[in-house]
């Protein structure tokens, strides 16, 4: 009898797991075809400009694209571009993309170790830095080095917070046992899809980029977005790595051209 009950319980567990797997697969399959096509372009070795052109050929309309070049605390320079693209059909979601590109030749980028993750965060907020009444969907990130080599799996979306999303970046790769490290994560794109907000405008596209390094083993414990917009990283055992931050905000519109 005990053996029979054990077998029945095992079958129930397997059925439960099977149902969970089917449900998960069903959720994955629910991604709309137009988003899958856009993601195929975004998750590719193309340059940022080439990706925008390819998306436009799919029917996406560039509503806004505002690149900025700003000095960083360690003497280097980074360009950050905020782009909003409108859907090709009514009822489709909007695509918001943030591209970053650090000029490593200007100095200030540490490549001495791989003991601290870089972080990125993007979001849509109102005039007071508070979240709009829409949430990110289908987030993605694509990471490159300064030579435009792609590193799949070295960037990943972390968690959504109201109308914002956080991302992690493993920013160093050992170069062929030479003792040197590549500039992984010094450029790339982060994005998500979102419905047009119906809350009061104006709306703003916010980004926060933290480059970190540490001579001591340190583990990112959490990465969160508080509102009014503030990106907070906490580290295990309070071992905080060295870092510089780059934040940027642009006024945006969701009006089709």
Show the CA angle centred on residue 14, arms to residues 12 and 16, nearest 5°: 70
Domain positions in the chain are 1-30, 37-252
Determine contact, residues 189/246, Cβ cutoff 8 Å.
no
Structure tokens at 236: 């295990």
Give the position of tokens 């500039």: 183
DSSP state of 236: G
Give the rounded percent of residues in the chain with a pLDDT score beyond 70. Answer: 76
What backbone phi and psi angles, to 5 degrees, belong to 53?
A: -60, -45
List 188's β-bridge partners, or say none: 100, 143
Structure tokens at 59: 């029917």
Residue 7, pLDDT score: 32
Return d(Cα 96, Cα 195) in angstroms, integer.
10
With a cut of 70, list the residues of the chain below it in pLDDT. 1-29, 66-77, 104-115, 174-181, 257
Residue 57, pLDDT score: 95
- Tell me the fold of 37-252: Immunoglobulin-like (2.60.40)
Residue 2, pLDDT score: 35
Residue 50, pLDDT score: 95
Residue 177, pLDDT score: 62
DSSP state of 106: G
List 225's β-bridge partners, or say none: 231
Quick one: 105 exposed, middle or buried, by C-beta within 10 A (0-12, 13-18, 19+)?
exposed
Whole-model pTM?
A: 0.82
């Amino acid at each position: 009898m005990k053996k029979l009950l054990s077998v029945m319980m095992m079958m129930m567990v397997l059925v439960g797991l099977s149902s969970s797997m089917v449900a998960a697969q069903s959720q994955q399959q629910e991604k709309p075809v137009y988003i899958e096509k856009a993601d195929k372009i975004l998750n590719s070795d193309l340059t940022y400009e080439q990706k925008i052109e390819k998306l436009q050929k799919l029917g996406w309309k560039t509503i806004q694209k505002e690149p900025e070049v700003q000095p960083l605390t360690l003497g280097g320079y980074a360009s950050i571009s905020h782009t909003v693209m409108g859907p090709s059909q009514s009822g489709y979601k909007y695509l918001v993309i943030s591209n970053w590109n650090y000029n490593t030749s200007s100095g200030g980028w540490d490549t001495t170790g791989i003991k601290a993750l870089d972080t990125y965060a993007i979001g849509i907020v109102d005039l007071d830095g508070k979240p709009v009444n829409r949430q990110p969907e289908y987030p993605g990130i694509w990471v490159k080095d300064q030579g435009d080599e792609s590193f799949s799996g070295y960037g990943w979306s972390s968690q959504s917070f109201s109308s914002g999303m956080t991302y992690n970046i493993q920013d160093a790769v050992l170069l062929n046992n030479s003792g040197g490290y590549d500039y992984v994560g010094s450029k790339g794109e982060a994005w998500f899809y979102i419905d047009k907000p119906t809350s009061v405008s104006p709306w703003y596209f916010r980004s926060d980029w933290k480059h970190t390094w540490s001579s001591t083993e340190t583990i990112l414990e959490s990465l969160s977005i508080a509102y009014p917009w503030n990106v907070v990283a906490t580290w295990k055992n309070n071992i905080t790595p060295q870092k510089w931050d780059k934040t940027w905000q642009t006024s945006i519109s969701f009006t089709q051209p």
